[in-house]
């Protein structure tokens, strides 16, 4: 087995994403385990300067093309497919983030490679890669192996601390040309910046977060009162935002923001991986959920199996009484 391990470096709007360093840390481990080099692949336009930060890899392949200026999954997969055919890596770690989603599957279909999605950990066992994957909204974990090279590993955020993927070393950078249309077929017209919103939930000491278990928009007022009693703000998981019960500026998780309040009180949130990604680092997480198997209890410090609506009024009164 001589194929390299590749890490597809994610950069967006001129910056390397945290997941790039997480992937490098994990990629380093498995490349060393297999005794093969670790190579980072950086795609973009006029961002060669970013390659210098990828020093945990033994080397970097940089592809510069105007069609790669913005994240277009099709163009990126096209570019990677050309490289893969030429260099035949053993496996590629491709981020499963909202910037890179789709690239892995497109590439795999193009080069006839297997895909392993939702990977949260990867290791070498008897000379082959085994991936631990999170399925069914966090309720099941599967250990999976890919049959055939190159394995396209869709890596979820949080596999390793990003700091483990940083290095002072300057890697050798090789610039490689690919053939792409001048512009992607799908054109970015504009970025839509988030509305500032009335409250910046990334700056709060206390966040009361509501999920599907809150059941109705009317119940939000009660949760808001509890947040007020605790001196914090209200935020939510994807279903609550999709229902239009809370604005996008209050969304925690993959598409929203990552938060690290001193207290994160999760009410009726099951804890899908997309949500956990945005709040797992809070030092005190308390979760209330009626399902004892809810994955939120895997990251919570304190868990309560109850209907969130049964807990909110009592907890509010208790806190208010204490505060006087």
Partner 1 sequence: MNILVLMRMVPDVVEELEIAPDGKGLDTEYLRMIVNESDDHALEQALILKERRGGKVTVLALDAPDVDDVLFSAVAKGADRVLKIEGGDGGLTTRAAAGVFAKVIDSQSDLKSVDVVLTGVQAIDDLDALVAPILSRRLGLPYLGIVTKVTLDESGKAVTAVREFSAGVRGEFEVPLPAVLGIQAAEKPPRYVPVAKVRAAMKSHKIESVGAPTTADAGLPLIEVMRMRKPEVSSHAQMLDGAPEEISKKLAGIFTERGLL
Site for partner 1 in 65-104 (CB under 8 A): 70-71, 73-74, 77, 97-99, 101-102
Which burial class, exposed, middle or buried, applies to 176 when counting CB atoms under 10 A from its CB (0-12, 13-18, 19+)? middle
Residues 6-25 that bind partner 1 (CB under 8 A): 12
Which residue in 109, 163, 174, 175 binds partner 1 (CB under 8 A)?
109
In 3D space, the residue among 311, 320, 316, 315 whose CA is nearest the CA of residue 269 turns out to be 311
Q: Give the CA distances from residue 98 to residues 10, 33, 149, 155, 244, in Å, rounded to whole numbers and listed in that order.
A: 11, 29, 25, 12, 21
Q: Does 182 bind partner 1 (CB under 8 A)?
A: no
- For residue 201, which phi and psi values (nearest 5 degrees)? -70, -15
Omega into 138 within 30° of 0, i.e. cis? no
Task: Give the torsion sign (CA, 126, 122, 272, 154).
Answer: negative
Q: Does 127 bind partner 1 (CB under 8 A)?
A: no
Q: Using an 8 Å Cβ cutoff, are 180 and 75 in contact?
A: yes
To the nearest whole angstrom, how small is the minimum distance from the Cβ of residue 214 to partner 1?
A: 14
As a whole number of angstroms, the distance between CA 94 and CA 321 comes to: 51
To the nearest whole angstrom, how small is the minimum distance from the Cβ of residue 97 to partner 1?
A: 7
To the nearest whole angstrom, how small is the minimum distance from the Cβ of residue 279 to partner 1?
A: 14
To the nearest whole angstrom, how small is the minimum distance from the Cβ of residue 112 to partner 1?
A: 6
Q: Does 126 bind partner 1 (CB under 8 A)?
A: no
Number of residues that bind partner 1 (CB under 8 A): 94
In 3D space, the residue among 113, 96, 11, 1 whose CA is nearest the CA of residue 60 turns out to be 11
Max CA separation in the chain (angstroms): 70
At which residue do the structure tokens 């909110």 appear?
Answer: 312
> Which C-beta is closer to partner 1: that of 174 or that of 317?
317
As a whole number of angstroms, the distance between CA 115 and CA 220 comes to: 40
Which residue in 14, 88, 142, 177 binds partner 1 (CB under 8 A)?
142
Q: Does 141 bind partner 1 (CB under 8 A)?
A: yes
Q: Does 260 bind partner 1 (CB under 8 A)?
A: no
DSSP string over 36-57: --EEEEEEESS-GGGGGG-TTS
Which residue in 20, 82, 117, 204 binds partner 1 (CB under 8 A)?
117
Q: Does 105 bind partner 1 (CB under 8 A)?
A: yes
> Which C-beta is closer to partner 1: that of 79 or that of 144?
144
Residues 226-245 that bind partner 1 (CB under 8 A): 230, 238, 242-244
Q: Using an 8 Å Cβ cutoff, are 271 and 287 in contact?
A: yes
Q: Does 194 bind partner 1 (CB under 8 A)?
A: yes
Q: Does 298 bind partner 1 (CB under 8 A)?
A: yes
DSSP string over 195-217: P--SS-GGG-SEEEEE-GGG-SG
Stretch that binds partner 1, among 22-30, 59-67, 110-118, 173-181 (CB under 8 A): 110-118
Q: Does 46 bind partner 1 (CB under 8 A)?
A: no
Which residue in 44, 89, 138, 165 binds partner 1 (CB under 8 A)?
138
At which residue do the structure tokens 């204490």 appear?
Answer: 322
To the nearest whole angstrom, how small is the minimum distance from the Cβ of residue 28 to partner 1?
A: 23
As a whole number of angstroms, the distance between CA 25 and CA 57 comes to: 9
Stretch that binds partner 1, among 25-33, 46-54, 137-145, 162-170 (CB under 8 A): 137-145
Stretch that binds partner 1, among 23-31, 46-54, 159-167, 307-315 (CB under 8 A): 307-315
């Amino acid at each position: 087995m001589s194929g390299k391990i590749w890490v597809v470096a994610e950069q967006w709007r001129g910056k390397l994403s945290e997941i790039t360093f997480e992937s490098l840390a994990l990629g380093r481990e498995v490349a060393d385990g297999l005794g093969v080099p670790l190579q980072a692949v950086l795609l973009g336009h006029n961002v060669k300067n970013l390659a210098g930060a990828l020093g945990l890899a033994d080397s970097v392949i940089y592809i510069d093309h105007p069609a790669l200026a913005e994240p277009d999954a099709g163009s990126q997969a096209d570019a990677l497919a050309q490289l893969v055919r030429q260099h035949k890596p053993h496996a590629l770690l491709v981020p499963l983030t909202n910037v890179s989603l789709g690239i892995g599957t497109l590439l795999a279909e193009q080069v006839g490679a297997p895909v392993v999605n939702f990977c949260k950990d990867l290791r070498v066992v008897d000379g082959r890669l085994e991936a631990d994957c999170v399925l069914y909204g966090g309720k099941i974990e599967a250990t999976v192996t890919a049959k055939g090279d190159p394995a396209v590993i869709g890596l979820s955020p949080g596999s390793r601390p990003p700091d483990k993927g940083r290095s002072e070393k300057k890697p050798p950078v090789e610039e490689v040309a690919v053939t792409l249309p001048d512009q992607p077929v799908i054109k970015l017209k504009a970025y839509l910046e988030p509305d500032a919103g009335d409250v910046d939930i990334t700056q709060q000491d206390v966040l009361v977060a509501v999920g599907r278990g809150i059941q109705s928009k009317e119940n939000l007022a009660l949760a808001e009162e509890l947040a007020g009693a605790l001196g914090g703000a209200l935020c939510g998981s994807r279903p609550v935002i999709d229902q239009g019960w809370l604005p996008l500026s209050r969304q925690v998780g993959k598409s929203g923001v990552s938060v690290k309040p001193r207290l994160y009180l999760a009410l009726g949130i099951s804890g899908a991986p997309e949500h956990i990604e945005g709040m797992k680092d809070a030092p005190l997480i308390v979760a209330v959920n009626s399902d004892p198997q809810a994955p939120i209890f895997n990251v919570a410090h304190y868990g309560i199996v109850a209907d969130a609506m049964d807990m909110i009024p009592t907890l509010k009164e208790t806190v208010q009484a204490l505060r006087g």
